Structure 1
């Protein structure tokens, strides 16, 4: 018998950032998030749908990803119906962007925010 979950949804993800103001600017200008609230310690940004993203001012060596076999693995993935245009826009903005990959009709690429957090976009 499977237990009925008492948890309804994922409300937010926290991502460590080294420079809060720069990160807020990047997430709003490069990715189109809306700033909902900001303090000296953190900023809450949001898209039209999905969980909130909380940018937390952290130590400069903190990252929101992990390693596997010595390689960085992303922890947060974004959906984009216009993934090629998103990738081009990030490149035009000087963002570190990996090559587009495709697996069984699923397109994705990885990129890094100004604090060095590895992220993924897919469609």
Structure 2
């Protein structure tokens, strides 16, 4: 039994300047599924989470500047293995998505970053969490 007070993150909010453009991008590039959409927001199913795209003024993003003055992402997506990571990076790059190089950050697996049309920066990691693998029976027994 979990002893945590909070059980999971249910929703993430991402600022976008154009709902229609962003919805199309998230569906086409990332395979998101639209649950609800109006002029001010869209609710997507993406990566086992509810993602709200919220209309905001141009120039807003979910990014922040870290202690070293570097722009930092606020979300890391996970894929199952280095081959999946490399394939996704190639697919996004071929879809004219701004992607970073594969990185070795000194921990298990590899990462790369990518950006949505509004400059929201996201990270992708080649390792699925053990709890996720177990919950969805992705662990070899």
On whether the aligned pair clears a TM of 0.5, the verdict is yes
Q: Which is bigger in relative contact order (C-alpha 8 A, separation at least 6)?
A: 1
* 1:98 has 2:106 as partner: no
Partner of 2:46: 47
Shift of 1:5: 4.4
Q: 1:6 to 1:89 in 2, by over 3 A?
A: same
The correspondence of residues 1-123 of structure 1 with structure 2, limited to 5 A, is 5-47=4-46, 49=48, 51-68=49-66, 69-81=68-80, 82-102=84-104, 103-123=106-126
Count of residues paired in the alignment: 119
Unaligned runs of 5+ residues in structure 1 are: none
RMSD: 1.4
Unaligned runs of 5+ residues in structure 2 are: 127-141
Shift of 1:47: 2.7
TM-score (norm 2): 0.79
After TM superposition, what 4+ stretches of structure 1 lie above 3 angstroms from structure 2?
none
Query: Counting helix residues as a fraction of each chain, which structure ranks higher?
Result: 2
Shift of 1:80: 1.5
Partner of 2:130: none
